[in-house]
A = this chain, B = another copy of it.
Amino acid sequence: MTENQTATSSTAAENAQDHVNSARLQDAIAALAAFGGRDDGGVARETLTDIDLASRRHLIDTARALGCEVEIDDCANLFFRRPGTTDLPPVLTGSHADTQPVGGKLDGAYGVLAGLEVISALNDAGISTRRAIEVVAWTNEEGSRFGPGAMGSSAFVDPSRLPAYRAVKDSDNITFGEAVDKALQQAKDVTHRELALPIASCVELHIEQGPVLERANAALGVVTGIQSVRWYRVSCTGMAAHAGTTPMDERSDAMKAAVTIAHQLYAHAAAEAASNLRLTLGRWQVGPNSVNTIPGNVDFTIDVRCVDAEVLERFEKFLQQIVAAYTWRGNIAFECFFSRPPTHFPEDMLTLIERACVRAGHLAQRGDPQHLTSGAFHDAMYLAEHCPTAMIFVPSKGGISHNAAEETAPEDLYLGVQALAYTVVELANR
Seen from chain A, the residues whose Cβ lies within 8 Å of a Cβ on chain B are 208-212, 215, 227, 229, 231, 241-250, 253, 255-256, 259-260, 262-263, 266, 269-270, 273, 276-284, 286, 289-295, 301, 303, 305, 374-377, 399, 401-402
Q: Which interface residue of A243, A246, A253, A255 has the most chain B CB atoms within 10 A?
A: A243
For A396, the closest partner residue in chain B by CB is B245
Q: Is the CB of A244 within 8 A of B291?
A: no
Q: Is the CB of A273 within 8 A of B249?
A: yes
Q: A291-B303, A293-B280, A293-B282 are in contact. Are A211 and B247 (CB under 8 A)?
A: yes
**What B residues does A289 contact at CB under 8 A?**
282-284
Q: Is the CB of A247 within 8 A of B291?
A: no
Q: Is the CB of B281 within 8 A of A250?
A: no
26 example contacts (A-B, Cβ-Cβ < 8 A) are as follows A208-B245, A209-B242, A210-B244, A210-B247, A210-B250, A211-B247, A242-B399, A242-B401, A242-B402, A243-B278, A243-B282, A244-B303, A244-B377, A245-B374, A245-B401, A246-B278, A246-B399, A248-B269, A248-B273, A255-B262, A259-B262, A259-B263, A280-B294, A283-B286, A284-B289, A292-B303
Complex: how many Å from CA A65 to CA B125? Answer: 112
Complex: how many Å from CA A413 to CA B211? Answer: 67
The A interface is mostly helix, strand or loop, or mixed, namely mixed
Q: Is the CB of B281 within 8 A of A259?
A: yes
For A262, the closest partner residue in chain B by CB is B259
**What B residues does A262 contact at CB under 8 A?**
255, 259
Q: A282: which of B231, B250, B292 is its contact (CB, 8 Å)?
A: B292
Q: Is the CB of B284 within 8 A of A245?
A: no
For A226, the closest partner residue in chain B by CB is B244
Complex: how many Å from CA A376 to CA B375? Answer: 49
**What B residues does A243 contact at CB under 8 A?**
278, 280, 282, 303, 305, 375
For A273, the closest partner residue in chain B by CB is B248
Q: Is the CB of A244 within 8 A of B266?
A: no
Complex: how many Å from CA A259 to CA B376? Answer: 26
Given pairs A210-B247, A292-B303, 15 additional interface contacts (CB within 8 A): A210-B242, A243-B278, A244-B303, A244-B374, A246-B375, A247-B276, A248-B276, A248-B278, A248-B279, A250-B399, A263-B263, A280-B291, A281-B295, A282-B290, A284-B289
